[in-house]
Amino acid sequence: MLLLCGPKHCGKTSAALALQGILGGDFVDIDALIEEREGISPRCLYRRGRGLFQEAEARAVSAIAARAKEAGGMLIAAAGGGLIDNEPAMDAVVKDGSVMIVYLEVSASTAWCRIEEAAKNGGGLPAFLDTENPEAAHAALHERRAAAYKQRAFITIEAEGKTPRQVAALIVAQIAARISAQAAAPGLPFYRNGLRFSCRRCSFCCRTGPGFVFLSGDDLAGISKELDMPHDEFIQVYCRWIDWDDDARLSLKEKTSLDCIFWQDGCSIYDARPVQCRTYPFWEAMLDSEETWLSATEECPGAGSGDVVSGEYIEACLELDRSTRILTKKDLEHEWRIQVTE
């Protein structure tokens, strides 16, 4: 069970829903469960008495932990901001060794601005801020709770300025890294336990933006065979030259729309597509760090979702990419005996 905690309006619910989209399983909002079980909103219950609210919160947390234990599988829960101050509820969490607390961190000023905005929209300030100086009271409470949450959390995620999908992707990556670090030797790559990816055939990597699709000798031979064309004719019709260092590299052409030359409501040479396309998105540039992978998940709908691709397969893609020799003009003229024309 993953329990997302953090200050009010830090994005726990939206991040939890994004996380559910990646991992699957069930999602439970603890405040919503309290209202369902008690017949009154948590805010109203708190105003009747802090003790009443905390008792209801502890019962809800215990019920969720028991549900997760009995059902098995993935359960993601989002807690109220004050859970850390509810010892019975926290004890229920600690008793279940399978619960991982994920703390979403935002600055006190950001949290306060969001609370003020919600208050202006009709919600009013929460009862725990009914003081002479609500902002100062909030700042002190935020600092104390943040320190306490970080002590209890399995991982802490910097959530400020990130979309729910980015936060969710970071949670998945950091949990995997943390678990692996506990069980494996240091120095292994963050993707060693695999990453989630499922090609959606969405055409993101084939269309609408400028780019290069460099070809190797095997790519040239394979695509030419697929099209039943001589190598030199294929180069003339479908390829272009890209200046690179002291030579020029062979790349597929782009249409005026910037779509790949072989995009026709799908890749028309999918079974013979180049190594560069076959290994996407498992390129060194995208796996340099968890942050670069996170950026990839924001751009590619299939990255960060779907089934887990093994670390062995990812490493094989990287090795294939490293060992692939991109064709240059010199190669074609001297090794392939193909006369290059512009």
What is the token pair recorded at 288? Answer: 């340099």
Q: What b-and-e string marks burial along 114-149, b requiring 16 or more CB atoms within 10 Å of the CB?
A: bbeeeeeeeeeebebbeeeebeeebeebbeebbeeb
Q: pLDDT tens digits for 3-54? A: 999 998 899 999 999 999 998 889 999 999 999 999 999 989 998 999 999 9
What is the token pair recorded at 319? Answer: 């090795």
Which domains does the chain possess?
2-187 (3.40.50.300), 197-334 (no CATH)
pLDDT by residue for the chain (342 residues), tens only, comes to 899 999 988 999 999 999 999 988 899 999 999 999 999 999 899 989 999 999 999 999 989 888 877 766 689 999 999 999 998 888 877 666 678 899 999 999 999 999 988 888 876 788 788 888 989 999 999 999 998 888 888 899 999 999 999 999 999 998 888 777 666 555 668 888 788 888 887 888 888 678 899 999 999 999 999 999 999 999 999 999 999 877 889 999 999 999 999 998 889 999 899 999 999 999 999 998 888 898 888 888 888 877 788 888 999 999 998 888 899 988 888 777 776 665
Instruction: Determine the residue type at 307.
Output: D
